[in-house]
């Protein structure tokens, strides 16, 4: 069971107002970053799409059995076995394998801190935040800094890893007559576990402080049945020769990325025997997914930035919690509508440079969003005016 602690902090109305004004600067920065990100993303997307279409129209499939000099500097597609005779060696644990890639994976048993918070607003604008800190033991590939824990006592982690994670790559990998570049070699996947045996413990020095044991092909420096903080779990993964498909520009007996006239570099690698048509379809789909991810990121940065800049309004209203909540909902809706409108306008302006025919549609949608914002504001003003008139007549 994890160790659980709670801590309650009280924030006065004044300190909350002060913090909200500090947040305006952060919000402004996020807001300003969103525009160049959205604009750049549209250019990147169009450039990559046109480059992939250009590549799909120019690529030729060639044999891997020999190098045809007439294909020099052409975009070619090959499929075949990525093979190597290089022997990769990890001397620390006497692990060797004829492989494309050898990974040493080191995990340390450590304390991990998790937090959750719940804030209650009080009349008068102050707030109380109850934060729950839970500490549990876990295997982690990264060193967890326990000095930053809220309750570090009895939850101390070691300050260093005796062994580090490591990746070794073969220098000589060929697909038939073609030699792969380091960039292509690193993109080859399909790693599988390389089980360790008792022979792999021979390199451990006699003064090791742990009890070493092999279990299910994994080396434990410590007791696997009852691990203690600082114990290590070490395993290896190996990428053996495997079939790959590559689209790249022929350069001698090797490759360089194909620089399309549209501006982007094209170099594709997929596992298995994949046709050039399918590889380009997959790349175009991946480009669409990345485009939408960056669009959503730009919108999110804009929304968070605006929300932070409008935050002081709800904090001022928190002198009466229900009023602050209502204002917060209103500013959140306003920030969302403005972000949608400005995101679409930014994309539309970018499309004036990159996709002029489609930009008009976005501008129409953005105009509709802005109209909705103006209408919402007018309705609120009208409701306020009507209420005021009614009160005056009653008086």
**DSSP notation for 189-237:** ---EE----GGGGTTS-TT-SSPEEEETTEEEES-TTS--TT-EEEEEE
**C-beta of residue 313 within 8 angstroms of C-beta of residue 353:** no
Q: Is 331 helix (H, G, I), strand (E, B) or coil?
A: helix
CA atoms within 13 A on the CB side of 271: 10
pLDDT at site 7: 94
pLDDT at site 362: 63
pLDDT at site 391: 52
Domain residues of the chain, as ranges?
Answer: 10-50+287-384, 58-273
- pLDDT tens per residue, range 82-129: 999 999 999 888 899 999 999 999 999 999 999 999 999 999 989 999
- pLDDT tens per residue, range 273-311: 999 999 999 999 999 999 999 999 999 999 999 999 999
Give the angle subtended at the CA of 64 by the CAs of 62 and 66, to the nearest 5°. Answer: 100
Kindly report the number of other CB atoms within 10 A of residue 7's CB atom: 13
CA-CA distances (angstroms) from residue 340 to 138, 174, 304, 305?
Answer: 41, 50, 12, 13
pLDDT at site 208: 58
Q: Is 312 helix (H, G, I), strand (E, B) or coil?
A: helix
**C-beta of residue 264 within 8 angstroms of C-beta of residue 48:** yes
pLDDT at site 354: 76
Q: Which of 166, 186, 170 is nearest to 83 (CA)?
A: 170
List, for the chain, all residue ranges whose pLDDT scores fall below the cut of 70. 1, 202-210, 355-360, 362-363, 366, 380-395
Element (H, E) at 239: strand 232-239
Element (H, E) at 280: helix 276-317
């Amino acid at each position: 069971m994890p160790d659980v602690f709670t801590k309650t902090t009280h924030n006065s109305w004044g300190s909350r107002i002060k913090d909200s004004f500090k947040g305006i600067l952060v919000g402004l920065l996020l807001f300003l970053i969103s525009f160049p990100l959205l604009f750049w993303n549209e250019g990147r997307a169009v450039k990559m799409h046109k480059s992939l279409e250009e590549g799909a129209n120019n690529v030729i499939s060639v044999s891997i059995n020999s190098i045809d000099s007439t294909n020099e500097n052409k975009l070619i597609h090959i499929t075949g076995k990525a093979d190597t005779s290089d022997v990769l060696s990890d001397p620390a644990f006497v692990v060797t394998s004829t492989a494309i890639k050898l990974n040493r994976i080191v995990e340390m048993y450590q304390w991990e801190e998790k937090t959750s918070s719940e804030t209650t607003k009080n009349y008068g604008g102050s707030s109380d935040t109850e934060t729950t800190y839970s500490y549990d033991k876990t295997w982690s590939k990264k060193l967890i800094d326990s000095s930053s824990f809220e309750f570090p006592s009895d939850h101390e982690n070691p300050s260093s890893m005796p062994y580090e994670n490591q990746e070794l790559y073969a220098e000589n990998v060929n697909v038939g007559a073609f030699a792969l570049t380091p960039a292509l070699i690193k993109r080859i996947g399909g790693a599988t576990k390389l089980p360790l045996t008792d022979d792999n413990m021979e390199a451990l020095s006699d003064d090791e402080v742990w009890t070493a044991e092999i279990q299910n092909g994994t080396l434990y420096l410590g007791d696997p049945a009852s691990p203690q903080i600082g114990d290590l779990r070490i395993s290896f993964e190996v990428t053996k020769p495997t079939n790959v498909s590559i689209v790249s520009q022929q350069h001698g007996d090797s490759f360089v990325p194909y620089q399309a006239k549209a501006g982007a570099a094209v170099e594709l690698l997929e596992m298995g025997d994949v046709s050039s048509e399918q590889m380009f379809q997959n790349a175009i789909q991946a480009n669409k997914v990345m485009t939408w991810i960056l669009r959503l990121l730009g919108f999110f940065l804009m929304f968070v930035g605006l929300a932070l800049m409008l935050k002081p309004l709800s904090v001022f209203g928190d002198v009466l919690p229900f009023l602050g909540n209502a204002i917060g909902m209103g500013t959140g809706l306003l920030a969302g509508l403005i972000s949608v409108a400005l995101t679409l306008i930014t994309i539309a302006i970018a499309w004036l440079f990159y996709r002029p025919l489609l930009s008009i549609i976005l501008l129409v949608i953005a105009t509709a969003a802005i109209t909705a914002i103006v209408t919402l504001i007018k309705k609120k003003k009208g409701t306020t005016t009507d209420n005021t008139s009614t009160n005056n007549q009653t008086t």
